[in-house]
Chains A and B, each alone.
Chain A
């Protein structure tokens, strides 16, 4: 198999909720500081246990780069499209801002980028990949929560992690077949 198939594997137990990933993303991709404008987020999940034995998990997330892509199928102009590696991107020049993709996305991963006058979302930092660099959120994480790589390469770290760990994906019942995998520990 020649083509790459990019994915991100997340070990959320390592997440400190430092939000360095969200800052790195905003800077790398020039995401404006406006209400509702963000490509990635870190959710602080509900507290678990009983006092004083409490603990809390954090769940970083973003566009799931679904293989069955609800946003792509409703886009009237093919502004939303998938690269050969399975990365879901938006062609700003073709976007008419009908917002059908926003209403179709079960992950609320899209927003209106006021400067581009188009829909915006996580691109897995596609512009960096050709240079052999990882997405900004992956690169900046101090505890390496996210691991980025090629699922078609059995020797990649993402393939090995998925071979040796149990994992879940978000909203699997929606049949979107996401490319973000959350390790269960």
Chain B
């Protein structure tokens, strides 16, 4: 295993002369304002008045966006861990960006879960006073809480001036735990859904595996997108090998995702007439079919995979495009994952049952308020990350 030593820039604060971050900082502020307005609406009117989730579909856009952000964060932490703990030097060349990005996008995820849960303060109190250790949500809180602390320590370590050999040893250990806890946190998120007795579509090991793999893929994709933006779609040659390695991770990740899709969908179809079948059919030819075929398969699998294969992951601009397309498609992946499992009704939609269904499935579409909270998460990510790009030195200078 190769060892490496990172020499970070000499100063913590360094104003980046590039204007690339500025439009994103402004966009972030606009989205934050929109999200801030929705937050006030939720505080004054209550969740039920602002959100479109229902008795039949209690988890909607905000849980999807939470999953999108936090799983991407742990995917980034995984790639960072490969660099720090396992000496994959290609990844440690961008270690500062990885840590900052993972930290900020985790915070963005916390905005979504914070606005989704009716009593976030009470959550912190009773998760300590009377935790139910058999509840996967408790472990979700534990793992993501630890991940936040680990990333904060990593932030300190990568920005610490005059680093010593001991600091690098510490960074290796911390990087390893970021990777490990990240994998546990993400696979446990699959378990949060998998433990729901009523929702067979989520049962089994599939989602725990799929979320980890798609999260690492998302981490690679986002790194390529952000590097292209920061360097004006002209990434310096010294980072070519890093981008190439990230492109390969992404290609491999997408291939594994396609493999998992195939067997999940086929095995769900064979549960006819069960609820997992209904969920799969909601994706294939039901209300989520456009999301599935265009978003999940077209944007998050086929197009980026073809770009990576045809460019052999060597053209950094093409990798940036593939990354953007993948990250857009991945949103549909997360949304469909959360919503599809909840569409089969728990009771037949007969008179008096209280259940309304169309073609045998209950319905959900996000409200304007939910989209505005979605904007809040993106606003926080864009604002904080590009402020860091503008005002902190995110270059990792030398590697040996």
In the complex, which range does the number of interface residues on chain A fall in?
A: 35 or more
Pair A43/B347 contact, Cβ less than 8 Å? yes
The complex places the Cα of A35 from the Cα of B354 at a distance, in Å, of 9
- Asked if B123 CB lies within 8 Å of chain A CBs, one says yes
Q: What residues on B are CB-neighbors of A110 within 8 Å?
A: 55
Q: What distance in Å separates the Cβ of A179 from its nearest Cβ neighbour in chain B?
A: 16
Of B117, B138, B355, the contact of A97 (CB 8 Å cutoff): B117
- Asked if B359 CB lies within 8 Å of chain A CBs, one says no
Q: Which of B152-160, B168-176, B193-201, B311-319 contacts A (4 or more CB under 8 A)?
A: B193-201
Pair A17/B119 contact, Cβ less than 8 Å? no
- Asked if B118 CB lies within 8 Å of chain A CBs, one says yes
The complex places the Cα of A19 from the Cα of B127 at a distance, in Å, of 40
Q: What residues on A are CB-neighbors of B351 within 8 Å?
A: 43-44
Pair A97/B119 contact, Cβ less than 8 Å? yes
Pair B354/A100 contact, Cβ less than 8 Å? no
Work out how many contacts link A and B, with CB atoms closer than 8 A: 136
Mask, A141-155, CB within 8 Å of B = 1, is 000000000000000
With CB as the reference atom, state the residue of chain B lying closest to A61.
B347
Task: Please report whether the interface of chain A is mostly helix, strand, loop or mixed according to DSSP.
Answer: loop
With CB as the reference atom, state the residue of chain A lying closest to B136.
A74
The complex places the Cα of A76 from the Cα of B127 at a distance, in Å, of 7
- Asked if B306 CB lies within 8 Å of chain A CBs, one says no
Q: What distance in Å separates the Cβ of A64 from its nearest Cβ neighbour in chain B?
A: 11
- Asked if A14 CB lies within 8 Å of chain B CBs, one says no
Mask, A91-132, CB within 8 Å of B = 1, is 000111111101111111011101001100000000000000
- Asked if B120 CB lies within 8 Å of chain A CBs, one says yes
Pair A108/B130 contact, Cβ less than 8 Å? no
- Asked if A45 CB lies within 8 Å of chain B CBs, one says yes
- Asked if B134 CB lies within 8 Å of chain A CBs, one says yes
Q: What residues on B are CB-neighbors of A112 within 8 Å?
A: 47-48, 55, 58, 118
Mask, A43-71, CB within 8 Å of B = 1, is 11110000000000010010000000010
Pair B48/A114 contact, Cβ less than 8 Å? yes
Of B56, B118, B137, B355, the contact of A76 (CB 8 Å cutoff): B137
Interface centre among A38, A61, A107, A108 (most CB of B within 10 A): A108
With CB as the reference atom, state the residue of chain A lying closest to B192.
A100
Pair A46/B350 contact, Cβ less than 8 Å? yes
The complex places the Cα of A70 from the Cα of B47 at a distance, in Å, of 25
With CB as the reference atom, state the residue of chain A lying closest to B135.
A76
The complex places the Cα of A19 from the Cα of B362 at a distance, in Å, of 24
Given A70-B198, A97-B47: A103 touches B352 (CB 8 Å cut-off): no
Of B46, B116, B130, B135, the contact of A74 (CB 8 Å cutoff): B135
With CB as the reference atom, state the residue of chain A lying closest to B123.
A96
Q: What distance in Å separates the Cβ of B336 from its nearest Cβ neighbour in chain A?
A: 16
The complex places the Cα of A45 from the Cα of B134 at a distance, in Å, of 37
Pair B119/A41 contact, Cβ less than 8 Å? no
Of A36, A58, A74, A111, the contact of B195 (CB 8 Å cutoff): A74
With CB as the reference atom, state the residue of chain B lying closest to A117.
B118
Pair A77/B346 contact, Cβ less than 8 Å? no
Given A43-B347, A108-B345: A76 touches B354 (CB 8 Å cut-off): no
Q: Can you give 9 A-B contacts (C-beta < 8 A)?
A: A35-B54, A41-B352, A70-B196, A73-B195, A96-B122, A97-B117, A103-B58, A104-B196, A112-B48
Instruction: List residues of chain B with CB under 8 Å of any chain A CB.
Output: 46-48, 53-56, 58-59, 116-120, 122-123, 126-127, 130-132, 134-138, 141, 192, 195-199, 342, 345-348, 350-355
Top 10 nearest A-B pairs (CB, nearest first) are A97-B118, A70-B197, A36-B55, A108-B346, A77-B126, A99-B58, A106-B198, A76-B137, A43-B353, A102-B58
